C-alpha cells in the first residue's frame, strides 16, 4: 500500500507550476512558533566532518530524564516513521496479525504489511465523534489475538485521546495474550489541558511500547527525530534492525538544544492554541463543520476533501486531504500564526460555492 502524507510535494507543485515559496502549508502538524532559538546556534556550531554519535548517548540521557526512565529504556530514531517500520520488522513475522485502531496514520498498516502481517482494523465512527470505545477494542484483542496493537493517542487525524482508564485496559488485554501495545504519543505534548499519564509500568513492561516525536512540538520536521520508550529487551531487539548512524549529528544537536530550552513549551503553546481557536471560529463562521479536537489541528467536513485541497492550493494554501485516512469527505488543517490564518480564511471565503 502507498501512504499519502501531508506537507509540500515538490514534484506535484512542479507539475502544477506552483512555487513552493509562495505557499502556506496548513497540512503539517508542526508548531509554527518553533523551533527554539538555541537550535540554530547548535547547528551553527556543528562539526560536519565527524561521524554522529551512533548511540545518541547524550540525547538518550536527556530523553530518559524527561520521561523518568533509564537511558537503556530509550531508542532514538530518524523520525518516528523509521521507528514504526523498525518495530514492525523486529516484532512481526509473516502470518502474524496486527490490530490498527483507526482512522489513523497509515504507516502502521503499511509497515505491518511490509513485514508480512495481516492488518485487522477497528474504526471509530464519525457519528460518535470518533471516540475510542476501549471495551470493544479489548473484546477484539481477546478474540483476534493480534501480535501488535497500534494506537495513536491523541490521534492523528481526529484529535481524540483515549482515557487513562481505556489505555490501561488495552495494556492489560494485550499483556494477557502476549501481544504488544504500541502507543504513539507524537502529539501528546501539544494538548491544551493536562497530558494523560503514560501507562503505569510501561517502561519495565515488555508488552507496552511508547513512541514519541520531537518534530511536532519543536518544529524539527526537516531533521527527523523520534524515540521509543520501552523495556530494554524490546529496545535491543528493535535497535538490531536500525542502520548505524541512522540519527545524524544535526538532529542530535537540535534535539539537545530543544530539550534544553525550558521556556519554549510554556511560551509557545498558549499562542498556538489561541491561533487554533481563532481558525476554528472563523471556519465555522463560513458555515463549515469543524469537528472538536483535543489538539491544535482540526478535521473539517467539506464533502470532497480532494477537491477542497485542489481549490485552496490554487489560492496558495495547502491543506491535508484525508482520503488516505479513509475520510474522503474531510480535510485536516493545522493552524499557523494568526496573520497567516487570515490568508487561509480569506482564500476559503473566495471559493464558490462555499463548502458545507
Domain membership of residue 4 (yes or no) is: no
Query: Nearest CA to 182 among 85, 290, 117?
Result: 85
The Cα-based distances of 80 to 86, 212, 216 in angstroms read: 10, 7, 11
Same domain, 222 and 309: no
Query: What pLDDT was estimated at residue 21?
Result: 82
Is the pLDDT at 240 greater than 50, yes or no?
A: yes
What percent of the chain is modeled with pLDDT above 70?
93
| Average of per-residue pLDDT values in the chain | 92
Q: Are 101 and 130 in contact (CB under 8 A)?
A: no
d(CA 216, CA 209): 20
Query: What pLDDT was estimated at residue 90?
Result: 98
pLDDT tens for residues 107-141?
A: 999 999 999 999 999 999 999 999 999 999 999 99
The Cα-based distances of 124 to 31, 216, 222 in angstroms read: 27, 24, 31
pLDDT tens for residues 3-27?
A: 566 656 777 777 777 777 878 999 9
Query: What pLDDT was estimated at residue 196?
Result: 47
Q: For residue 147, give the DSSP letter.
A: S
Query: Which residues have C-beta within 8 Å of that of residue 169, sequence separation ≥ 6?
Result: 134, 135, 138
Query: What pLDDT was estimated at residue 354?
Result: 46
Query: What pLDDT was estimated at residue 207?
Result: 92
Query: What pLDDT was estimated at residue 7?
Result: 59
Q: Are 18 and 10 in contact (CB under 8 A)?
A: no
Same domain, 195 and 316: no
pLDDT band at 355 (very low <50, low <70, confident <90, very high): very low
Domain membership of residue 293 (yes or no) is: yes
- Among residues 242, 260, 278, the one where a domain terminates is 260
pLDDT tens for residues 163-176?
A: 999 999 999 999 99
> Is the full-model pTM beyond 0.85?
yes
- Among residues 230, 260, 290, the one where a domain terminates is 260
Q: Are 179 and 120 in contact (CB under 8 A)?
A: no
d(CA 259, CA 39): 10
Same domain, 79 and 67: yes
Same domain, 282 and 238: no
The stretch 18-37 carries a mean pLDDT of: 90
Sign of CA dihedral 79, 85, 89, 91: positive
Sheet holding 148-152, edge to edge: 74-77, 226-229, 208-213, 180-184, 148-152, 97-102, 118-123
Same domain, 141 and 290: no
pLDDT tens for residues 189-238?
A: 999 875 544 554 444 578 999 999 999 999 999 999 999 999 999 999 99
**What are the φ and ψ backbone dihedral angles of 149, each rounded to 5 degrees?**
-120, 125
Domain membership of residue 2 (yes or no) is: no
Domain membership of residue 178 (yes or no) is: yes
Sheet holding 320-321, edge to edge: 289-290, 298-301, 330-333, 320-321
d(CA 318, CA 331): 10
Same domain, 235 and 306: no
Number of domains in the chain: 2
DSSP-assigned letters across all residues of 278-346: HHHHHHHHTT-EE---SSSSEEEE-S-HHHHHHHHHHTTEE-EE-GGGT-TTEEEE----HHHHHHHHH
Same domain, 46 and 158: yes
Is the pLDDT at 78 greater than 50, yes or no?
A: yes
Buried residues in 105-133 as b, exposed as e (16+ CB within 10 A): bbbbbbbbeebebebbebebeeeeebebe
Domain residues for the domain of 339 are 10-35+264-350
Give, to the nearest 10 degrees, the angle between helix 134-144 and helix 164-176: 10
pLDDT tens for residues 264-314?
A: 999 999 999 999 999 999 999 999 999 999 999 999 999 999 999 999 999
Query: What pLDDT was estimated at residue 6?
Result: 60
Q: Which of 74-78, 191-195, 325-329 has the lowest mean pLDDT?
A: 191-195
Amino acid at each position: 500500500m502507498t501512504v499519502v502524507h501531508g506537507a509540500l510535494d515538490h514534484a506535484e507543485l512542479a507539475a502544477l507550476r506552483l512555487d513552493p515559496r509562495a505557499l502556506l502549508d496548513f497540512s503539517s502538524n508542526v508548531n509554527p512558533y518553533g523551533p527554539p532559538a538555541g537550535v540554530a546556534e547548535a547547528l551553527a556550531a556543528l562539526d560536519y566532518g565527524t561521524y554522529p554519535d551512533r548511540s545518541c548517548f547524550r540525547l538518550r540521557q536527556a530523553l530518559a530524564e524527561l520521561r523518568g526512565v533509564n537511558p537503556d529504556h530509550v531508542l532514538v530514531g530518524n523520525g518516528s516513521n523509521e521507528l514504526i517500520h523498525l518495530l514492525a520488522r523486529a516484532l512481526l513475522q509473516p502470518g502474524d496479525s496486527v490490530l490498527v485502531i483507526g482512522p489513523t496514520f497509515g504507516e502502521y498498516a503499511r509497515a505491518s504489511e511490509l513485514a508480512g502481517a495481516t492488518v485487522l482494523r477497528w474504526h471509530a465512527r464519525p457519528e460518535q465523534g470518533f471516540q475510542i470505545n476501549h471495551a470493544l477494542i479489548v473484546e477484539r484483542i481477546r478474540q483476534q489475538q493480534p501480535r501488535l496493537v497500534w494506537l495513536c493517542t491523541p490521534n492523528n487525524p481526529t484529535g481524540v485521546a483515549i482515557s487513562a482508564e481505556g489505555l490501561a485496559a488495552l495494556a492489560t488485554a494485550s499483556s494477557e495474550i502476549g501481544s504488544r501495545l504500541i502507543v504513539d504519543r507524537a502529539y501528546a505534548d501539544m494538548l491544551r489541558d493536562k497530558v494523560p499519564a503514560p501507562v503505569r509500568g510501561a517502561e519495565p513492561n515488555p508488552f507496552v511500547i511508547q513512541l514519541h516525536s520531537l518534530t511536532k512540538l519543536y518544529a524539527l520536521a526537516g531533521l527527523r527525530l523520534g524515540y521509543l520508550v520501552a523495556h530494554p529487551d524490546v529496545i535491543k531487539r528493535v535497535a538490531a534492525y536500525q542502520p548505524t548512524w541512522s540519527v545524524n549529528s544535526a538532529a542530535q544537536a537540535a534535539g539537545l538544544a530543544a530539550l534544553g530550552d525550558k521556556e519554549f513549551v510554556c511560551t509557545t503553546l498558549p499562542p498556538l492554541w489561541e491561533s487554533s481557536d481563532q481558525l476554528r471560529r472563523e471556519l465555522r463562521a463560513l458555515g463549515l463543520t469543524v469537528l472538536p479536537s483535543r489538539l491544535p489541528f482540526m478535521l473539517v467536513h467539506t464533502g470532497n476533501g480532494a477537491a477542497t485541497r485542489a481549490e485552496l492550493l490554487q489560492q496558495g494554501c495547502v491543506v491535508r486531504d484525508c482520503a488516505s485516512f479513509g475520510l474522503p469527505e474531510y480535510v485536516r488543517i493545522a493552524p499557523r500564526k494568526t496573520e497567516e490564518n487570515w490568508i487561509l480564511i480569506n482564500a476559503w471565503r473566495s471559493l464558490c460555492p462555499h463548502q458545507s
